[in-house]
Amino acid sequence: MYVCICNALRDKELAAAAGDNVRSVAEVFRRCSARPKCGKCLPDVAEMIEAARAKTAPPALAAE
Ligand code: FES
């Protein structure tokens, strides 16, 4: 499914780029060799970063 229509980026591509301790939406776009344009996808990309953090956080920190 396309998440970023402006850059034709799919959910799987963005989710993969959102892992490995990514700190910002801009970093996800850099990893995809793209730049945000309209900004409508930015909340979804931010959620992907949070989901990746939740998966990699130690259990004690994930509960906070
Ligand atoms: S949909 Fe991603 S920048 Fe427009």
Per-residue pLDDT tens, the chain, 64 aa: give them. 999 999 999 999 999 999 888 999 999 999 999 999 999 999 999 999 999 998 887 776 555 5
pLDDT given at position 64: 55
Task: Give domain limits for the chain.
Answer: 2-62
Amino acid (1-letter code) at residue 42: L
Nearest CA to ligand 1 atom 1: 4
Q: How far is the CA of 60 from the centre of ligand 1 (A)?
A: 35
Q: How far is the CA of 53 from the centre of ligand 1 (A)?
A: 22
DSSP 2-63: EEETTTTEEHHHHHHHT-SS---HHHHHHHTT---SS-TTHHHHHHHHHHHHHHHS-HHHHT
pLDDT given at position 58: 72
pLDDT given at position 57: 73
| Cβ–Cβ under 8 Å, residues 45 and 28 | yes
Question: Distance between CA atoms of 37 and 20, rounded to whole angstroms?
Answer: 24
Q: How far is the CA of 52 from the centre of ligand 1 (A)?
A: 20
